[in-house]
Amino acid sequence: MAALTIPQAARPAIFLYSNGETAAEIPGWFADWVSLGIKIAQGGLTPGHQTILAVSTPSRMLAAAAVALGYSRQRYVLTGEALQVPELSIALQDVVPGMRLWVKTPNRVVVGEYLRGLPERLQLSTLKTGAFQARMIRQIRTLPEGLEVRDGSWESGSDSDRAFIESLLPNADPEAFLSSWDWGLVLVGSPTRIYADLSERISLNAASRPFGAIGTIVRPMEQSGPVGWRSSIMSARADTPVWEKFPSAPKLIILDGAQAVSRWLPKCQAPVVVAVLERTEPGVEAAVSALMQERSYAEPVNGSEVSWAPPHGCELLAFRRTC
């Protein structure tokens, strides 16, 4: 396996988090987890193999969210606004009645079934907001089969969201980022806990840098709706894997907690799986047993190959298996 490397200059800076009216520095472990996400997004893994990175930690607080932040940010840096499934883009002249469409105008995203009106106007089934002049359309897409996206109209993003995106992605167009689609990342665990971690407001430790929620960059599909998404969140108790509905397989699956590891590790379909275990959480023995069983049929990966040092007090177990 090729080593996962990242230029020193690209390492994440010190982060702050918002604590009411004040700001406090997040300890260095946060940047360590962010760095892991960046390294994974940069690739360098052995084709045809799945790499498992299991980390035991005294606390899972913000660990999965930080990995997701680093991954989502770096993946967008590398891929830009290009759709992961480019065939979903459609030209206006190819639209026919009955198509369900995703339409971006200067300030909104509208989802609905096309009824009539072209070439001058576009009339969708969406109540009140589904009619507009064709010249106002900035982008139009079809929706993947099996993906549950409701009809409606949404603002494409707030000014504070755009400012936060510009601070973490200084070379990106915030509007393009907000409306981008990517099925590359899945977080599995307790949705309540994951959403809570993603709602934490952070900022780079620099003058005049705005605060924003981690979820503004990670953008789970279930929170941002059809405007745009960079990830999806799945309950560890789900009956079927969420990626079965995706038009393309995920690139990274983060298993957050013992239940997620025990239930889903053998079923994960992604080139990289990160498993985060808290040493004192219920069910950790069963999760460790699942990891050891998978490792017994896999090839060990040493720390130098991974090229990532876990935060202080954490331990890394890495191995790879044939997909």
Tell me the pLDDT tens digit for each residue of 236-257: 999 999 999 888 889 999 999 9
CA 290 to chain centre: 25
3 has a pLDDT exceeding 50? no
For residues 217 and 72, is the Cβ–Cβ distance under 8 A? yes
The answer to whether residues 46 and 64 belong to one domain is: yes
Q: DSSP states of 37-62 as a string?
A: HHHHHH--PPTTEEEEEEEEES--TT
Measure the CA angle with vertex 278, ends 280 and 237; round to 5°. 105
Within-domain flag for 150: no
* pLDDT one-digit tens code per residue, 178-234: 999 999 999 999 999 999 999 999 998 766 788 999 999 999 987 666 888 999 999
Query: 45 and 74 share a domain?
Result: yes
Distances (CA, A) of 151 to 94, 113, 118, 154, 261: 21, 8, 20, 10, 35
Q: Is residue 153 part of a domain?
A: no
Across-strand partners of 273?
52, 253
In this structure, the answer to whether residues 185 and 72 fall within a common structural domain is: yes
Give the C-alpha separation, 172 to 245, whole Å.
Answer: 29
CATH code (residue 32): 3.40.50
76 and 52 belong to one structural domain: yes
Q: How many domains does the chain have?
A: 2
What does the pLDDT read at residue 238? 97
Using an 8 Å Cβ cutoff, are 220 and 213 in contact?
no
Q: 114 near 103, Cβ under 8 Å? A: no
What is the per-residue pLDDT for 5?
A: 33
- Provide mean pLDDT across the span 96-124: 91
The pLDDT, as a whole number, for residue 163 is 93
For 106, the domain range is 86-143
Residue 6 DSSP SS3 = coil
pLDDT category, 73, cuts 50, 70, 90?
A: very high
Query: HSE of 111 in the Cβ direction (CA atoms, 13 Å)?
Result: 17
Alpha-carbon distance values, 219 to 117, 170, 213, 261 (Å): 33, 18, 10, 23
Read off the tokens for 293: 């069983």
Whether the CA torsion 160, 162, 166, 168 is positive or negative: it is positive
Q: What pLDDT, on the 0 to 100 scale, is given for residue 93?
A: 92
Q: What is the pLDDT of residues 241-297, one digit of tens each?
A: 999 988 888 999 999 999 999 999 999 989 999 999 999 999 999 999 999 999 998
Same structural domain, 123 and 251: no
Contact 214, 30 (CB under 8 A): no
Q: What percent of the chain has pLDDT over 70?
A: 93
Give me the residues paired with residue 203 across strands. Answer: 16
Q: Which of 118, 143, 168 is the last residue of a domain?
A: 143
Give 200's Cβ-side CA count (13 Å radius): 22
Looking at the fold, whether 202 and 290 belong to one and the same domain comes out as: yes
Looking at the structure, do residues 68 and 90 belong to the same domain, yes or no? no
At 4 the pLDDT is 33
152 inside domain: no
User: Do 41 and 100 belong to one domain?
Assistant: no
Q: For position 129, what pLDDT does the model report? A: 76
CATH of the domain at 139: 2.30.30
Do 262 and 189 fall into the same domain?
yes
Do 126 and 228 lie in one domain? The reply is no
Q: What is the pLDDT of residue 11?
A: 46
Q: Are residues 101 and 74 in the same domain?
A: no
- The residue out of 143, 169, 184 marking a domain boundary is 143
CA dist 166 and 172 (Å) reads 7
Residue 300 domain-assigned (yes or no): yes
